[in-house]
């Protein structure tokens, strides 16, 4: 490996590490939006929640967190029932979302190497 390849590899490793360090805050923000949506359903909160979850789908895959991406996709799919009905008593149960959020948290450490592609 030449110097240029080594520098690139180091930069990628640094980006993966930075992403891994930010994941707990990203998931905490998703959980906070979910709690807010449960307490006071609002389209703005739903939009913010969906945007954050959707962002994890792509970024998880990009940075080598396939399990995070997969868990975020399952959560996004479940939350899609809220796109037409802002009602916490809709087909989507609170317990279901809580379970999917727990799976998302567990996915952070699911991959050996924690994000190493």
pLDDT in tens, 53-88: 999 999 999 998 999 999 999 999 988 876 555 554
- Residue 69 lies in domain: 3-110
pLDDT at 111: 63
Helix or strand holding residue 30 (H, E): helix 3-39
Give a yes or no: residue 117 inside a domain: no
Identify the three-state secondary structure at position 48: helix
Structural domain count of the chain: 1
Asked if residue 115 is part of any domain, the answer here is: no
**Residue 55 belongs to a domain:** yes
Q: Which CATH number belongs to the domain containing residue 96 in this structure?
A: 1.20.120
Contacts 24+ apart (CB under 8 A), 42-51: 42/86, 43/86, 46/79, 46/82, 46/83, 46/86, 49/79, 50/76, 50/79, 50/83
| Position 83 in a domain | yes
Q: Does residue 108 contact residue 65 with C-beta atoms inside 8 Å? A: yes
- Sign for the CA dihedral angle at 90, 51, 113, 117 comes to positive
What is residue 115's predicted lDDT score, i.e. its pLDDT? 44
Q: Is residue 28 domain-resident?
A: yes
């Amino acid at each position: 490996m030449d110097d240029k390849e080594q520098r690139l590899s180091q930069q990628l490793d640094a980006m993966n590490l930075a992403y891994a360090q930010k994941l707990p805050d990203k998931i905490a923000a998703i959980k906070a939006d979910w709690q807010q949506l449960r307490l006071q359903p609002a389209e703005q909160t739903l939009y913010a929640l969906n945007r954050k979850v959707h962002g994890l789908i792509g970024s998880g895959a990009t940075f080598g967190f396939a399990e995070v991406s997969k868990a975020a996709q399952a959560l996004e799919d479940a939350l899609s029932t809220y796109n037409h009905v802002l009602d916490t008593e809709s087909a989507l149960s609170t317990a279901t979302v809580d379970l999917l959020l727990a799976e998302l948290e567990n996915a952070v450490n699911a991959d050996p190497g924690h994000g190493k592609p």
